Structure 1
Amino acid sequence: MIVPMTVILAAISLYPFIFAVRLSLTNASTINLMAPRFVWFKNFGDILISARFWQSTVLTVVYVVSAIALEGALGLLLAILVDKLAKAQKWLVSLLITPMLISTILCGIIFRLQLNPQFGVISYYLNQLGLGGNWLDTHHALVSMIFIDVWQWTSFIFLIAFAGLKALPVEPFEAARVYGAKTWQTFWMVTLPLVRPVLTIAVVFRLMDAFKAFDHIYIMTAGGPDFATTTWSVLAYNYAYTSNHFGRACAMAIILLIIVTVVVKQLLKLAKWR
């Protein structure tokens, strides 16, 4: 049963990948999609020497690193706090994972309205705190995108970390208590090393997802204003549907795939080494 399913899944995944690789080597557009001309690696070269690509790279790295760092820290903190509660754990877990269950497109629509400088509720309260202004302008748009990602996906890290904490043996914590370890020492020397494998898997999944974040960004800003939120995924979309250059869009997607694969592999290697 496993072998047929593996073959089917491989075939389903393999054909689009081969098609994308082939398309990345052509000048494919809506005009010549059925019979594009091969330009080989020209698309890759054009992307790598493009100033827009490097601007997008900086934005993507800032977005991913900021979002993952905040989600990892907040998710683990929430998991530890909820794990220490004797009552209402089930209710709190159900409440905290709610944002993760909401569609990213719906999140984009909701926060686009809430951050509207004229009638948005969040904008109103930010203004009351002296943080007024347009949080979707050139200077603040990326911060807003990171905030939305953290709001929605901290719950994922929390859920995985909470499950990991529940599975930990009690003996190391009892030993730490007997030896008089302080709370921060217990966390740093016992809790964190034991939960690190589970936390690493959660971070890797979120890392892959954050690199290809698109829905809420495009819904809210379409990569703007003035390319302030044009991450790699948005740039690939713009190549395809704004510039009408499907070949370059596929090349961009393959570059993204290679970079994410290398980053994830190095992260897993680092985690295994430690």
Structure 2
Amino acid sequence: MIRTYFKKNPHTVYIWPAIIILGGLSIVPSLFLWILSLTDYELGYTDFNFVGVENFTRLFTGGDNEFWFSLWISLFFMVIVTLIELLLGFWIATLLDRDFKLKFLVFSCLIVPIAMTPSITGQIWKLMLNAEYGVINYFLQFFGGKVIWLSTENAFLSTILVDIWQNTPFMALIIYAGIRSLPTDPFEAAAIDGASKIQAFYHISLPLLWPVIILAVIFRAIDALKTFDIPFSLTQGGPGNATEFLSLHVFRLGFAQTGWVGRSAAVAIILLMLTTVISMLLIKVYRKGVENKE
């Protein structure tokens, strides 16, 4: 039966090894995570009991305010950074579509944040945002004062700013590639009919770029929802739990403080399901955009 399948589909011989490897690296850990979420396993102990969905019911009905706060700021962070990065990326992409001197230098500057790992980015910005010797406050003192960037009031805003700095170039380059791939015929016809640049943008450019925009939003929204490196490097989730996103909440529950691996796994499952649902919704919008474009 297997031999017959490969005779009819010889090209799958090259695909199945990758499927098996990727499946083993994703499915097996996911199953193990589900098993852990149904236990009361604690780090450092060998004995644990099966507790069913108790870890989940405790999160939703037990008044776990820290979990709900982490969920709220994770969703808010995802929406804010994705929206701002999309708008800034679109603006930068339209500027790059014009011919000007030193254009290659602008591209080089855009590549630098993308090439840096988020953890290193967080460490660099942590030094720059330091209230005492940071370079940002060094310049701000000439304008009348300093800002305690990593305080309880400003830590969340600082995390947003650092994420925007690193990921806006990614959005800009994706949208720029989409702009460069647009056909010229519709714009020439619109110009002959007397359409303005704004009308051409709303009625031609935007509909044609819609699949590209949704694709960029999918990548950034999912990455922002599970963000870990930048807030961990900047604040370790603090001060207090001001920047304790769901991913950091998982880490703190399971490894950093309490060692409640079972509860940590339950939160990780919720994050996984939330990511999956949002991905499916965005992919559905993307497919509609592709169908409308065709």
TM-score interval (norm. to shorter): over 0.9
Question: Residues 199-248 of structure 1: CA distance to partner in whole angstroms, max 9, x if unpaired?
Answer: 21111011111011111101111111121111111111111111101111
Deviation at 1:92, TM superposition (A): 2.1
Structure 1 runs (4+) greater than 4 angstroms displaced: none
Give the TM-score normalised by structure 2: 0.88
Partner of residue 32, structure 2: 19
Aligned ranges 1:173-212 → 2 under 5 Å? 173-212=187-226
Deviation at 1:99, TM superposition (A): 0.3
Partner of residue 254, structure 1: 269
Partner of residue 243, structure 1: 258
Tell me if structure 1 keeps the 8 A contact 2:215–2:286.
no
Partner of residue 267, structure 1: 282
Deviation at 1:84, TM superposition (A): 1.5
Alignment: residue pair count = 273
Deviation at 1:161, TM superposition (A): 0.7
Tell me if structure 2 keeps the 8 A contact 1:83–1:89.
no
Partner of residue 159, structure 1: 173
Deviation at 1:129, TM superposition (A): 4.1
Deviation at 1:26, TM superposition (A): 0.6
Deviation at 1:126, TM superposition (A): 3.5
Give yes or no for the alignment of 1:28 onto 2:41.
Answer: yes
Identity of aligned residues (%): 37
Give yes or no for the alignment of 1:91 onto 2:101.
Answer: no
Question: Residues 71-122 of structure 1: CA distance to partner in whole angstroms, max 9, x if unpaired?
Answer: 1001111111101125544332222121011011111111111001111111
In 2, Cα distance between the equivalents of 1:117 and 1:154?
Answer: 25
State the superposition RMSD in angstroms. 1.6
Question: Residues 125-180 of structure 1: CA distance to partner in whole angstroms, max 9, x if unpaired?
Answer: 33444573201111111010000000000111111111111111011111222222
Tell me if structure 2 keeps the 8 A contact 1:99–1:151.
yes
Deviation at 1:123, TM superposition (A): 2.1
Deviation at 1:124, TM superposition (A): 2.5
Tell me if structure 2 keeps the 8 A contact 1:97–1:159.
no
Structure 1, gaps ≥5 residues long: none
Deviation at 1:183, TM superposition (A): 2.4
Within the candidate set 35, 38, 48, 2:60 is matched to 48
Larger Rg: 2
Structure 2, gaps ≥5 residues long: 1-13, 290-294
Tell me if structure 1 keeps the 8 A contact 2:85–2:167.
yes
